Chains A and B, each alone.
Chain A
């Protein structure tokens, strides 16, 4: 398949936007696409008081960062493969460098650094405007093939149903 070459960054961002639009939790967190390219993706998590873990500090809970990084790592696969495949997460490892500063968004930039027939390896960094790293994450995903999903849903995400 040479379809990869015909995918523009705009297509990739569109796919990811439509995909996260179907994930209730991603909508609930207000995740949005910041930028997309071949094999890399940046998502944005806006600050929200409902995500606070410790009201004394107003710092958002690590769980929200985990969800941001899991989502970004899972969605970067849409920017790496020519066809839309939903790949379940096998494992995820997050190292927390420092707490995210309150009232400011957190970004996560992920890349696929190895794609094989069965497994996809990703790494991801969460950071804020200041450029300081909040957390690093590596994850592995299993490829179950594009036929694991109904065609109508695939078309919805790739935009081919329109």
Chain B
């Protein structure tokens, strides 16, 4: 569970294990996160169960979407005064390259935060940040 205590601990220590352990879907796809100063880099290590296209093989596009969507939610919880999993309103995803069976990374940027809604941009890449595999944009509802 993402309690304020766990969020505070994660924020102070940079150790995401407790936070991620409280989100079953994060464990399901194998999402991890590292903190560098104030910056967060989300990681998705290769995992056979995440594959879609068996010929390439490539990560299932839906998993890449889920990885980016969850990264954006965790990013909001860590950078804003959001004390629990924010509710997603919409999610728009552009696939740019096949996500091969190797580690993927994602970073998020808060484009705009209003009182009730936040707009987050997410970029995902594998070997080089300059060759993104997908970009996404999401709106989250911060109130009930």
Do A and B belong to a common assembly? yes
Contact surface of A with B, Cβ cutoff 8 Å = 22-26, 28, 49-56, 60-64, 66-71, 74, 86, 88-96, 99, 149-150, 153
CB distance from A45 to the nearest CB of B (A): 11
Q: How many angstroms from the CA of A64 to the CA of B89 in the assembled complex?
A: 15
Size category of the binding interface on chain B:
35 or more
Task: From the candidates B84, B87, B89, name the one contacting A95 in the complex (CB within 8 A).
Answer: B89
Instruction: Please tell me if the beta carbons of A96 and B63 are within 8 angstroms of each other in the complex.
Output: no
Q: Which residues of A contact B16 (CB under 8 A)?
A: none
| Nearest opposing residue in chain A for B85, CB measure | A54
A-B contact sample (5 more), CB < 8 A, given A55-B23, A149-B55: A63-B62, A66-B69, A90-B94, A91-B94, A93-B91
Task: From the candidates B49, B50, B52, B70, name the one contacting A61 in the complex (CB within 8 A).
Answer: B70
Instruction: Please tell me if the beta carbons of B88 and A62 are within 8 angstroms of each other in the complex.
Output: yes
Contact surface of B with A, Cβ cutoff 8 Å = 1-2, 22-25, 27-29, 48-55, 60-63, 65-67, 69-70, 73, 84-85, 87-95, 98
| Nearest opposing residue in chain A for B1, CB measure | A55
Interface SS of chain B: helix, strand, loop or mixed? mixed
Task: From the candidates A50, A63, A88, A93, name the one contacting B98 in the complex (CB within 8 A).
Answer: A88
Q: Which residues of A contact B29 (CB under 8 A)?
A: 63
Instruction: Please tell me if the beta carbons of B25 and A25 are within 8 angstroms of each other in the complex.
Output: no
Instruction: Please tell me if the beta carbons of B91 and A62 are within 8 angstroms of each other in the complex.
Output: yes
Instruction: Please tell me if the beta carbons of B25 and A153 are within 8 angstroms of each other in the complex.
Output: no
Nearest 8 Cβ contacts at the A-B interface: A63-B66, A67-B62, A61-B25, A25-B60, A70-B62, A66-B65, A24-B51, A52-B24
Give me 9 A-to-B residue pairs in the complex whose CB atoms sit less than 8 angstroms apart, sorted by A's number: A49-B24, A50-B25, A51-B28, A52-B24, A53-B24, A55-B24, A63-B62, A63-B66, A96-B87
